[in-house]
A and B are shown apart, each in its own frame.
Chain A
């Protein structure tokens, strides 16, 4: 599954002491230019030597310009957008490479070797990428163009960037986009080899390409004198230089494309150029001149009325078209390592928040979750500790309850035997002797008395039954035995219950 890219791009390019910018968004099927313009990177002319602006370094001016562009842009704190900075192509090296039959996964390794060999610098110190035409086909022999620059150059760009303001997500060059723009808009133009000429400030980029590959490319400075142009106007001088460089390029490429095999020249931009010399040269070489102007490319976009686009925006519009409409990655000089698919690729762009928002929202959610878990743990531990403490109380209550049962059992059969015996000693007549006494809370009382007589027995029985210790005392029998008059009494104990 292809990783879903942002549909909102901000493009930046430094051209001739200006930082040009362009903001483009793909809404449904429409490419909309939301804003664009340029900001000078030169200190403002001011006679006041105390002016604060005068002390700003070029890097400070660049940072200030980026911050200003962010303020003018339409990126919000929930926006998902990409920022592309277009590196000047004249600061880069580019070579065509035709590989032997190679597996796709080995192409990059092969190209890296070629890049390091060509620049004579370890590949780790090189920022590079390769471009394979969108019409290349599936042949195992690849025809690609690699572009490279020193890693320190890329670092210097990033170092001069203001932190947290439109931080570049891609560093690229513009030639691939101009090439792919032509391929995308009119596939017949490059069906045969052609010369493609585009403008980048004071420089022109020249390519020899067909629909399969870019075979040859160079960046030339137009702002220089040319032979035989002494005293000519600047515009004419530039045109002479460009015509000369085109002829040189055709000459350089003649090894692969001999004279007469290239029939087309595509001029991208050059709105305000007379192009008489170019046309003359084309006629001499039997080249058919095709022009793609800024107005042509603007027809691919819906441009806000207040947005003023200049010639320098041509390459940015090309890149925006290739990125957003044709979904081409293009050259990438930032080393991002192995990119993995993220959940962003499965979520609609409108629902994608910024990383800062996600971090903070995630932190907040984590904090609340931690508090909730803490609350849950605290509550359950409080419940269990109270139940543990309560177990002691429950055990005490159970113990007291059983104790009550035991005490009730004892109280039901409670007799104060000490008092009972004292009562007997105090209330039995002196001539009567207790020979034996048997007390049982269940079965009752058996008393054997000796001495006295029947009258005495009657009094004793009456006394006992009136006491608090005995009840139902009756005379069972009275006999005269060896010890004398002996009476057997029988009865019950008075229990508390």
Chain B
């Protein structure tokens, strides 16, 4: 600095003053309303709007789902994915075991024609006594995985004994499975 002329010093001071003012101005914009003043692409804006809508709806959605859960009597059960069929069968087995129901066979099938979600239907053949059946049906409602009987056939195995035999079709919905596309053919088939 010692070798700078007065003119250079003046220039340096002017430059520094302008620099400081510029830095403060830009810095203040960065710190405050940078996002508001900056234009983003239409795609980004749409994504933000979508995001804000979803954020606003999440809590409401959670409350809505809780009401529905209470209605079907299972507040903590989860849906399974298409890849978790064995997990679903294990849960049925576990429920049956807890209920004293003897399960003699499973027959799972994925129904992609059901609307609006594809469904997983498992036919379960079982043997038990009446109390165990009631307990089994109650435990199904409170299972760790959401499931529901869609058909139930029960009959006395022997008129003189309390043993029952039957078949229940337990159904659940596969949230992430792609339903089959709707065509006149499979719509009719589905109706049938």
Contacts and interface: CB of A to CB of B under 8 A. Distances in A.
Contact of B58 (A393, A421, A435): A393
Contacts, number: 172
Interface stretch (A53-61, A273-281, A322-330, A367-375): A367-375
**Which secondary structure dominates chain B's binding surface?**
helix
A421 B51 CA distance: 47
B58 A400 contact: yes
A77 B6 CA distance: 11
Contacts of B154: 436-438
B11 A77 contact: yes
A80 to B, nearest CB: 15
A407 interface: yes
Interface in B3-41: 3-5, 7-8, 10-12, 14-15, 18-19, 22-23, 26, 29-30, 34-35, 38, 40
Given A371-B26, A400-B61, A394 B51 contact: yes
A415 B134 CA distance: 13
A411 B173 CA distance: 12
A164 to B, nearest CB: 4
A437 to B, nearest CB: 5
B161 interface: no
Contacts of B94: none
Nearest to A70: B5
Contact of B54 (A363, A397, A417, A425): A397
A407 B72 contact: yes
Contact of A379 (B38, B119, B146, B148): B38
A407 to B, nearest CB: 4
Place the interface of chain A in its size category. Answer: 35 or more
**Which of A371, A410, A415, A416 is most buried by chain B, counting CB atoms within 10 A of its CB?**
A410
Given A165-B5, A382-B35, A433 B64 contact: no
A360 B61 contact: no
Interface stretch (B42-50, B83-91, B101-109, B181-189): B42-50
A422 interface: yes
Contact of A440 (B30, B151, B155): B151
Interface residues of B, number: 67
B15 A483 contact: no
Interface in A387-421: 387, 390, 393-394, 396-411, 413-418, 421
B116 A372 contact: no
Given A357-B11, A394-B50, A418-B141, A371 B150 contact: no
Contacts of B149: 415, 417, 439
A398 B176 CA distance: 10
A77 B7 contact: yes
Contacts of A164: 3-5, 8
Contact of A364 (B22, B29, B155): B22
A418 B137 contact: yes
A436 B176 CA distance: 38
B54 A393 contact: yes
A414 B64 contact: no
A367 to B, nearest CB: 6
A368 B175 contact: no
A360 B12 contact: yes
**Which secondary structure dominates chain A's binding surface?**
helix
Contacts of B192: none
Interface in A332-373: 356-357, 360-361, 363-364, 367-368, 371-372
B134 A418 contact: yes
A375 B155 contact: no
A413 B35 CA distance: 49
Contacts of B34: 375, 378-379
Given A165-B5, A367-B22, A402-B117, A441 B150 contact: yes
Contact of B44 (A387, A397, A411, A441): A387
B68 interface: yes
B43 to A, nearest CB: 10
Contacts of B22: 364, 367-368, 371
Contact of B150 (A398, A435, A442): A442
Interface string B162-183: 0000000001110110000000
Interface in B116-159: 116-117, 119, 130, 133-135, 137-138, 140-141, 146, 148-156, 159
A383 interface: yes
B62 A364 contact: no
A372 B15 CA distance: 18
B8 A356 contact: yes
A137 interface: no
A408 B134 CA distance: 24
A376 to B, nearest CB: 8
Contacts of A386: 51
The 10 closest A-B pairs by CB, nearest first: A407-B68, A397-B54, A436-B155, A406-B173, A418-B137, A418-B138, A390-B51, A402-B175, A417-B137, A400-B61
Given A421-B137, A433-B159, 17 more contacts: A164-B3, A360-B15, A371-B22, A390-B54, A397-B57, A397-B61, A406-B117, A406-B173, A410-B172, A413-B148, A413-B150, A414-B71, A435-B159, A436-B154, A437-B153, A438-B153, A440-B151
Interface of A: 77, 163-165, 356-357, 360-361, 363-364, 367-368, 371-372, 375, 378-379, 382-383, 386-387, 390, 393-394, 396-411, 413-418, 421-422, 425, 433-442, 448, 483, 496
27 contacts: A77-B10, A164-B8, A356-B11, A357-B11, A361-B15, A364-B18, A371-B22, A371-B26, A378-B30, A379-B35, A394-B50, A394-B54, A400-B61, A403-B79, A404-B64, A404-B68, A405-B175, A406-B79, A407-B69, A407-B146, A409-B117, A411-B71, A414-B71, A436-B154, A436-B155, A439-B149, A440-B151
